[in-house]
């Protein structure tokens, strides 16, 4: 299991803004089964319950791809990010986009093939890491998709044979993004469009346009609460 940021039903101490890592929001069943509800990268924030007046969450948040992030104590966040602020407004719209992503995943998990879902997951990762290459454990990918490892292994072989990816010993390389998009279900595009619509002046502006270094959320954080942040690596 990867590093856990939040455990179920525990007090949320910090909110996190990943800058180039990826964090997964997952749900764990009683018998240890695990499935991903959403991923958060540099377009968003982990700790939405704090924004909405809560103190804990039912699911877990785990680091999916290690990277940099900034974090802020939850009580300072509540004090500084007030409802009249631009950052608060941006984060509410981000929350709506995140809800769309989660609800689309409900449809996707029930109605689309493992291959399509795997392509979607890889595209989402690719959008958020600043490289065509990232480390990805096969067991973890299987967990995130809620399927058995041999199933994921079979899909990875198919995608590799078609020249879309290169995958060996936990190292994933995206070779042909366009074909990966073509092999994916519509869910990826629907969610991406919603992020762009809701956050066109902010968070998702630079999402997936080949220049992932700047985005509205970061600018807003810097303007409003920069001195309250702790930088993590
Ligand atoms: Zn789908």
Instruction: Indicate yes or no: pTM above 0.85.
Output: yes
Pairwise CA distance, residues 175 & 66, whole Å? 21
Centre of ligand 1 to C-alpha 120, Å, is: 7
The alpha carbon of 83 and the centre of ligand 1 are apart by a number of angstroms equal to: 34
The rounded distance, in Å, linking the Cα atoms of 17 and 68 is: 9
| pLDDT at res. 82 | 92
CATH code for the domain of 48: 1.10.10.10
Give the per-residue pLDDT at 202.
Answer: 52
What pLDDT, on the 0 to 100 scale, is given for residue 197? Answer: 86
For residue 66, CA distances in Å to 4, 18, 29, 138, 232 come to 12, 10, 24, 16, 11
The three state secondary structure string of the chain is CCCEEECCCCCCCEEEEECCCEEEEEEECCCCCEEEEEEECCCCCECHHHHCCCCCCCCEEEEEECCCEEEEEHHHHHHHCCCCCHHHHHHHHHHHHHHHHHHHHHHHHHHCCHHHHHHHHHHHHHHHCCCCEEECCHHHHHHHHCCCHHHHHHHHHHHHHCCCEEEECCEEEECCHHHHHHHCCCHHHHHHHHHHHHCCCCHHHHCCCCCCCCCHHHHHHHHHHHHHCEEEC
Span from the CA of 107 to the centroid of ligand 1 (angstroms): 7
Q: What is the pLDDT along the chain (233 residues), one digit of tens a residue?
A: 578 899 888 999 999 998 888 899 999 889 988 889 999 998 899 999 999 999 999 999 999 888 888 899 999 999 999 999 888 988 999 999 999 999 999 999 999 999 999 999 999 999 888 789 988 888 888 988 989 999 999 999 999 999 999 999 889 999 999 999 999 999 999 999 998 888 876 544 444 444 444 456 777 777 777 777 888 76
Split into its structural domains, the chain has a count of 1
Residue 217 belongs to domain spanning: 4-232
Q: Which residues surround ligand 1, an ion (CB under 5 A)?
A: 108, 112, 185, 187
Q: What's the gap in Å between 150 CA and the centre of ligand 1?
A: 20
* pLDDT score at 169: 87
pLDDT of residue 194: 92
Please give the pLDDT value at position 146.
87
For residue 39, the model assigns a pLDDT of 93
Q: How far is the CA of 101 from the centre of ligand 1 (A)?
A: 11
- What's the CA-to-centroid distance between 95 and ligand 1, angstroms? 20
Question: Distance, CA 60 to ligand 1 centroid (Å)?
Answer: 23
């Amino acid at each position: 299991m990867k590093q856990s940021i939040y455990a179920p039903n525990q007090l949320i101490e910090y909110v996190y803004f990943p800058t180039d890592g990826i964090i997964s929001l997952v749900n764990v069943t009683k018998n240890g089964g695990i499935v991903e509800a959403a991923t958060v990268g540099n377009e968003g924030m982990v700790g939405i319950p704090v924004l909405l007046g809560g103190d804990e969450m039912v699911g877990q948040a785990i680091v999916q791809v290690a990277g940099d992030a900034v974090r802020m104590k939850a009580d300072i966040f509540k004090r500084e990010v007030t409802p009249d602020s631009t950052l608060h407004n941006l984060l509410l719209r981000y929350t709506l986009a995140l809800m769309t992503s989660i609800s689309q995943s409900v449809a996707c998990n029930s109605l689309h093939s493992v291959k399509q879902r795997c392509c979607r997951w890889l595209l989402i990762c690719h959008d958020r890491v600043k490289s065509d290459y990232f480390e990805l454990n096969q067991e973890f990918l299987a967990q995130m998709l809620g399927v058995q490892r041999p199933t994921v292994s079979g899909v990875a072989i198919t995608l590799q044979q078609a020249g879309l990816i290169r995958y060996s010993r936990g190292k994933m390389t995206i070779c042909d993004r366009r074909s990966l998009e073509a092999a994916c279900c519509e869910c990826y595009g629907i969610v991406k469009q919603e992020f762009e619509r809701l956050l066109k002046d902010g968070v998702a502006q630079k999402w997936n346009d080949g220049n992932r270094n700047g985005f509205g959320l970061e600018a807003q954080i810097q303007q409003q609460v920069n001195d309250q942040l702790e930088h993590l690596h």
